[in-house]
């Protein structure tokens, strides 16, 4: 399969990202092909939209198309359709498939303005994550104990996990990986 499948937050809708590296000198063929792909995907049952991501000026090569579907079944209908397979085979003449996989932590350590930069070594990611989890878990635990003395053990565990994951995902890890440890992580 030449598409990366990402399930969005609600657990039902599905987003598919098609990534291709266009061979030099074949950009016009790609542009014509992506219009056909976009139109075909929009015609597919359950498709809720197609977004074509254009590389910044001066950057060529890696191109992405984002397709959204109402559910897994609609996405599967598209993926197994004759037209998608035909268009995918057509694109092989002027581009190659690009697939990226992440084990999980890499999503905290990607740099938005430089997507082609490789992720840091796992030991560096684990070190930064450990430091963040250690400090944050103690702080959250102490705060909850101070606010709610005698709280049920399971409720306390639930709240610690909920707050820890939320704060790590949207506040602490982006800040640590993009601002504080960026130079160390990527050298």
Give pLDDT tens digits for 116-139.
446 778 898 889 999 999 999 999
Q: What is the pLDDT of residues 158-179, one digit of tens each?
A: 999 999 999 998 889 888 887 8
Would you state the pLDDT for residue 72? Answer: 84
pLDDT score, position 1: 45
Residue count (the chain): 187
Residues of the chain within CATH 3.30.70.100 domain(s) are 3-101
**Rounded average pLDDT over 42-58:** 87
**Among the ranges given (66-75, 92-101, 175-184), the one the predictor scored with the smallest mean pLDDT:** 92-101
Which of the residue ranges 40-44, 66-70, 81-85, 116-120 would you say has the lowest mean pLDDT? Answer: 116-120
> Do residues 22 and 117 lie in contact, with contact meaning Cβ atoms separated by under 8 Å?
no
CATH number of 3-101: 3.30.70.100
What is the number of other CB atoms lying within 10 angstroms of the CB of residue 44? 18
Distances (CA, A) of 9 to 6, 15, 116: 10, 10, 25
Distances (CA, A) of 176 to 43, 109, 127, 163, 179: 43, 9, 11, 17, 6
Q: What is the pLDDT of residues 97-110, one digit of tens each?
A: 875 544 445 555 55
Residue 62 pairs with which residues in a beta bridge?
Answer: 21
């Amino acid at each position: 399969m030449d598409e990366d499948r990402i399930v969005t937050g609600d657990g039902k809708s599905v987003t598919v990202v098609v990534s291709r590296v266009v061979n030099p000198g074949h950009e016009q063929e790609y542009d014509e092909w992506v219009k056909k792909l976009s139109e075909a995907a929009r015609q597919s049952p359950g498709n809720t939209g197609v977004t074509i991501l254009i590389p910044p000026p001066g950057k060529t090569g890696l191109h992405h198309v984002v397709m959204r579907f109402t559910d897994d079944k609609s996405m599967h209908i598209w993926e197994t359709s004759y037209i998608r397979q035909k268009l995918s085979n057509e694109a092989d003449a002027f581009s190659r498939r690009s697939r990226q996989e992440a084990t999980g932590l890499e999503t905290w350590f990607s740099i938005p303005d430089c997507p082609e930069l490789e992720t840091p070594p796992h030991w560096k990611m684990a070190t930064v994550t450990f430091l963040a989890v250690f400090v944050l878990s103690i702080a959250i635990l102490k705060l909850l104990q101070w606010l709610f003395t005698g709280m049920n053990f399971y409720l306390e565990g639930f709240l610690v996990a909920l707050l820890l994951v939320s704060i790590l995902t949207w506040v602490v890890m982006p800040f640590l990986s993009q601002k504080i440890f960026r130079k160390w992580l990527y050298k």
